[in-house]
Amino acid sequence: MLKKIPPDSPRCAHRPAHDIVGPGAAPITLVVNGIARALSIVPATTLAEALREQLALTGTKVACDRGACSACTVWLDGAPVCACMVLAIDVGDREVTTIEGLAQNGPLHPVQSAFIAHDAIQCGFCTPGLIMSCAALLAHTPDPSESQVRAALGGHLCRCGTYPHVIAAVLDASRRGRSRP
Protein backbone atom coordinates (compact mmCIF):
# COMPACT_ATOMS: atom_id res chain seq x y z
CA MET A 1 0.00 0.00 0.00
CA LEU A 2 0.95 3.65 -0.10
CA LYS A 3 3.93 4.78 1.88
CA LYS A 4 4.80 8.40 2.52
CA ILE A 5 8.46 9.17 2.02
CA PRO A 6 9.76 10.41 5.38
CA PRO A 7 11.63 13.72 4.92
CA ASP A 8 14.94 12.31 6.13
CA SER A 9 15.08 8.95 4.38
CA PRO A 10 17.81 8.24 1.85
CA ARG A 11 15.85 7.91 -1.37
CA CYS A 12 18.34 5.71 -3.16
CA ALA A 13 19.52 3.18 -0.62
CA HIS A 14 20.79 0.66 -3.16
CA ARG A 15 24.26 0.94 -4.58
CA PRO A 16 25.35 -0.65 -7.82
CA ALA A 17 28.22 -3.13 -7.58
CA HIS A 18 30.50 -0.71 -9.44
CA ASP A 19 30.97 3.05 -9.09
CA ILE A 20 30.57 3.59 -12.82
CA VAL A 21 28.28 1.77 -15.23
CA GLY A 22 27.38 2.47 -18.83
CA PRO A 23 27.22 3.92 -21.38
CA GLY A 24 26.26 0.39 -22.47
CA ALA A 25 23.66 -1.85 -20.84
CA ALA A 26 23.83 -2.57 -17.12
CA PRO A 27 21.71 -4.88 -14.94
CA ILE A 28 19.16 -3.33 -12.59
CA THR A 29 16.22 -4.60 -10.55
CA LEU A 30 12.93 -2.72 -10.56
CA VAL A 31 10.14 -3.50 -8.10
CA VAL A 32 7.04 -2.97 -10.22
CA ASN A 33 3.53 -3.61 -8.89
CA GLY A 34 4.97 -5.67 -6.07
CA ILE A 35 7.20 -7.92 -8.20
CA ALA A 36 11.00 -7.59 -8.51
CA ARG A 37 11.96 -7.56 -12.19
CA ALA A 38 15.54 -7.98 -13.44
CA LEU A 39 16.37 -5.81 -16.46
CA SER A 40 19.33 -4.83 -18.57
CA ILE A 41 19.18 -1.17 -19.55
CA VAL A 42 21.51 1.62 -20.69
CA PRO A 43 21.72 4.43 -18.09
CA ALA A 44 19.95 6.78 -20.53
CA THR A 45 16.75 4.70 -20.30
CA THR A 46 13.87 6.49 -18.60
CA LEU A 47 11.53 4.65 -16.25
CA ALA A 48 8.74 5.17 -18.80
CA GLU A 49 10.83 3.50 -21.52
CA ALA A 50 11.80 0.60 -19.25
CA LEU A 51 8.16 -0.01 -18.29
CA ARG A 52 6.82 0.18 -21.82
CA GLU A 53 9.58 -1.34 -23.91
CA GLN A 54 11.15 -3.90 -21.59
CA LEU A 55 8.28 -4.89 -19.31
CA ALA A 56 5.47 -4.41 -21.88
CA LEU A 57 3.53 -2.36 -19.34
CA THR A 58 2.14 -0.04 -22.00
CA GLY A 59 -0.63 1.36 -19.81
CA THR A 60 1.83 4.12 -18.91
CA LYS A 61 1.62 6.57 -21.84
CA VAL A 62 4.31 8.94 -23.06
CA ALA A 63 3.13 12.13 -24.75
CA CYS A 64 5.41 15.14 -24.20
CA ASP A 65 8.40 13.19 -22.77
CA ARG A 66 9.39 16.40 -20.90
CA GLY A 67 7.41 16.30 -17.65
CA ALA A 68 4.95 18.84 -19.01
CA CYS A 69 1.79 16.74 -19.56
CA SER A 70 1.83 14.08 -16.79
CA ALA A 71 0.42 11.38 -19.11
CA CYS A 72 3.19 9.06 -17.86
CA THR A 73 2.32 9.42 -14.15
CA VAL A 74 3.26 6.39 -12.01
CA TRP A 75 3.88 6.10 -8.27
CA LEU A 76 7.31 5.90 -6.67
CA ASP A 77 6.76 4.69 -3.10
CA GLY A 78 3.20 5.97 -3.42
CA ALA A 79 4.05 9.46 -4.69
CA PRO A 80 2.92 10.38 -8.22
CA VAL A 81 5.86 11.23 -10.51
CA CYS A 82 6.46 11.65 -14.25
CA ALA A 83 8.02 8.36 -15.41
CA CYS A 84 9.56 10.19 -18.39
CA MET A 85 11.69 12.36 -16.07
CA VAL A 86 13.14 9.55 -13.92
CA LEU A 87 16.00 7.40 -15.14
CA ALA A 88 15.29 3.71 -14.58
CA ILE A 89 18.74 3.29 -13.05
CA ASP A 90 17.87 5.99 -10.49
CA VAL A 91 14.76 4.24 -9.14
CA GLY A 92 16.78 2.02 -6.79
CA ASP A 93 14.65 0.13 -4.28
CA ARG A 94 11.69 2.50 -4.49
CA GLU A 95 8.47 0.67 -5.38
CA VAL A 96 6.96 1.49 -8.76
CA THR A 97 3.19 1.25 -9.15
CA THR A 98 1.68 1.58 -12.62
CA ILE A 99 -1.91 1.64 -13.83
CA GLU A 100 -1.62 -2.14 -14.32
CA GLY A 101 -0.95 -2.52 -10.58
CA LEU A 102 -4.02 -0.62 -9.46
CA ALA A 103 -6.49 -3.51 -9.94
CA GLN A 104 -4.86 -6.89 -10.58
CA ASN A 105 -7.32 -9.72 -11.23
CA GLY A 106 -9.83 -8.06 -8.97
CA PRO A 107 -12.42 -5.33 -8.80
CA LEU A 108 -11.55 -2.01 -10.36
CA HIS A 109 -10.10 0.72 -8.17
CA PRO A 110 -12.93 3.09 -7.07
CA VAL A 111 -11.37 5.86 -9.19
CA GLN A 112 -11.43 3.61 -12.27
CA SER A 113 -15.13 2.78 -11.67
CA ALA A 114 -15.93 6.47 -11.15
CA PHE A 115 -14.16 7.39 -14.43
CA ILE A 116 -16.42 4.93 -16.26
CA ALA A 117 -19.56 6.11 -14.43
CA HIS A 118 -18.80 9.79 -15.13
CA ASP A 119 -17.65 9.33 -18.73
CA ALA A 120 -14.33 10.94 -17.79
CA ILE A 121 -12.56 9.47 -20.83
CA GLN A 122 -12.53 10.53 -24.48
CA CYS A 123 -9.49 9.50 -26.51
CA GLY A 124 -8.06 7.90 -23.35
CA PHE A 125 -4.40 8.76 -23.85
CA CYS A 126 -4.13 10.89 -20.69
CA THR A 127 -6.44 8.61 -18.68
CA PRO A 128 -3.96 6.19 -17.01
CA GLY A 129 -1.89 9.12 -15.73
CA LEU A 130 -4.96 10.97 -14.50
CA ILE A 131 -6.19 7.88 -12.66
CA MET A 132 -2.82 7.40 -10.96
CA SER A 133 -2.88 11.04 -9.75
CA CYS A 134 -6.48 10.81 -8.57
CA ALA A 135 -5.91 7.50 -6.76
CA ALA A 136 -2.79 8.94 -5.04
CA LEU A 137 -4.78 11.99 -3.97
CA LEU A 138 -7.52 9.85 -2.37
CA ALA A 139 -4.95 7.61 -0.66
CA HIS A 140 -3.47 10.62 1.15
CA THR A 141 -6.58 12.86 1.26
CA PRO A 142 -9.72 10.65 1.35
CA ASP A 143 -12.08 13.65 1.49
CA PRO A 144 -10.61 16.29 -0.82
CA SER A 145 -12.18 19.66 -1.61
CA GLU A 146 -12.72 20.53 -5.26
CA SER A 147 -9.76 22.91 -5.09
CA GLN A 148 -7.55 20.08 -3.74
CA VAL A 149 -8.67 17.91 -6.67
CA ARG A 150 -7.86 20.71 -9.11
CA ALA A 151 -4.42 21.18 -7.50
CA ALA A 152 -3.70 17.43 -7.76
CA LEU A 153 -4.64 17.51 -11.45
CA GLY A 154 -2.66 20.71 -12.13
CA GLY A 155 0.07 18.95 -14.09
CA HIS A 156 -2.20 16.98 -16.42
CA LEU A 157 -3.01 17.95 -19.97
CA CYS A 158 -6.18 16.47 -21.52
CA ARG A 159 -6.66 17.94 -24.95
CA CYS A 160 -10.15 16.40 -25.22
CA GLY A 161 -11.09 18.59 -22.24
CA THR A 162 -12.48 15.93 -19.90
CA TYR A 163 -11.45 17.88 -16.78
CA PRO A 164 -14.98 18.61 -15.41
CA HIS A 165 -15.90 14.91 -15.67
CA VAL A 166 -12.61 13.89 -14.06
CA ILE A 167 -13.22 16.25 -11.12
CA ALA A 168 -16.78 14.91 -10.72
CA ALA A 169 -15.46 11.33 -10.84
CA VAL A 170 -12.87 11.92 -8.11
CA LEU A 171 -15.34 13.66 -5.82
CA ASP A 172 -17.81 10.80 -6.38
CA ALA A 173 -15.17 8.14 -5.69
CA SER A 174 -14.31 10.03 -2.50
CA ARG A 175 -17.99 10.07 -1.39
CA ARG A 176 -18.35 6.35 -2.15
CA GLY A 177 -15.14 5.61 -0.26
CA ARG A 178 -16.50 7.41 2.80
CA SER A 179 -19.87 5.64 2.67
CA ARG A 180 -18.22 2.21 2.70
CA PRO A 181 -18.78 0.28 5.96
Binding residues (CB under 8 A) for another protein: these are 5, 7-12, 15-16, 19-24, 26, 42-44, 46, 65-68, 70, 73, 76, 79-82, 85-87, 89-90, 133, 150-156
Residue 33 or 133: the one with the smaller Cβ distance to another protein is 133
> Minimum distance between the CB of residue 162 and another protein, rounded to whole angstroms?
14
**Adjacent-strand bridge partners of 32:** 35, 96
Distances in Å between the Cα of 67 and the Cα atoms of 17, 36, 63, 125, 157 are 30, 26, 9, 15, 11
Q: Determine the Cα–Cα distance for residues 46 and 54; give it in Å rounded to an integer.
A: 11
Q: Which is nearer to another protein, 67 or 176 (CB)?
A: 67
Q: Give the CA count within 13 Å in the CB-facing half-sphere of 156.
A: 30
10 or 107: CB nearest another protein: 10
Question: Is 14 or 175 the residue whose CB approaches another protein more closely?
Answer: 14
> Of 27, 33, 26, 29, whose CA–CA distance to 13 is shortest?
29
- CA dist., res. 167 & res. 24, Å (int): 44
Provide the minimum distance between the beta carbon of 126 and another protein in the complex, in angstroms, as a whole number: 13
The CB-of-43 to another protein minimum distance in angstroms stands at 4
Residue 54 or 90: the one with the smaller Cβ distance to another protein is 90
Least distance to another protein from the beta carbon of 33, Å? 19
- Shortest separation between residue 107's beta carbon and another protein, angstroms: 27
Residue 152, C-beta contacts closer than 8 angstroms, at least 6 positions apart: 133, 134, 136, 137, 144
